[in-house]
Amino acid sequence: MDMLIMGLTIFILAIFVGFEIITKIPPTLHTPLMSGSNAISGITLVGAVLSAGIQQTILTTILGVLAVIFATINVVGGFMVTNRMLEMFRKKS
């Protein structure tokens, strides 16, 4: 039960932090915000790496590798495309 309460505490605090930061991001940067926060949501990669690496059974390994592929596309693609967009906003200042 302890772990659950800890987890919930972190969850709720993180939502407050998220709220504080996101409301200060100007509309002009909302598209990079979506692709950037999307890239961060690829953190599932961590869980995928564990399954693919622990290799408890053949099935879990396959599931893990597939998850690694999808999560990595999410992460690498997400950060790269966000960077590409943000570079365009930087050029003129």
Partner 1 sequence: MLPVFINIGYLLASILFILGLKGLTHPRTAVRGNLLGAAGMLLAVVITLFDQRIISFYMILLGVVIGAGIGAVLAVKIKMTAMPELVALFNGFGGIASVLVAGAALIEQTSGSQIPLIQLTIAIAASGTIGAVTFWGSLVAFGKLQGLIHEGAIGFPGHQVFKGFVGILVIAFCVGVVIAPMNPFLYWILVAVASVLGVLLVIPIGGADMPVVVALLNSYSGLAAAATGFVLSNNVLIITGSLVGASGLILTQIMCKAMNRSLANVLFGASAPSGDGGASADEVYAGRVKSATPEEVALLFDVARRVVIVPGYGMAVSQAQHPVANLASLLESRGIQVDYAIHPVAGRMPGHMNVLLAEADVPYEALKDMETINPTFDQVDVALVIGANDVVNPLARTDPSSPIAGMPILDVDKAKTVVIIKRSLSPGFAGIPNPLFALDHSLMLFGDAKKMVLDIIAALKDV
For partner 1, the binding residues in 5-34 under the rule CB under 8 A are: 7, 10-12, 14-15, 17-19, 21-34
CB of 20 to partner 1, least distance (A): 9
70 near partner 1, rule: CB under 8 A: yes
Nearest approach in angstroms of CB 29 to partner 1 is: 5
**Does 2 participate in binding partner 1 (rule CB under 8 A)?**
no
Q: How far is the CB of 81 from partner 1 (least distance, A)?
A: 4
CB of residue 2 to partner 1, shortest distance in Å: 11
Contacts of 43 (CB under 8 A, 6+ apart): none
The answer to whether 45 and 72 are in contact (CB under 8 A) is: yes
Residues 31-50 that bind partner 1 (CB under 8 A): 31-50
Q: What count of other Cβ atoms lies within 10 Å of the Cβ of residue 65?
A: 16
Give the span between the Cα atoms of 60 and 23, in whole angstroms: 40
Burial environment of residue 86 by CB neighbours within 10 A (0 to 12, 13 to 18, 19 or more): middle
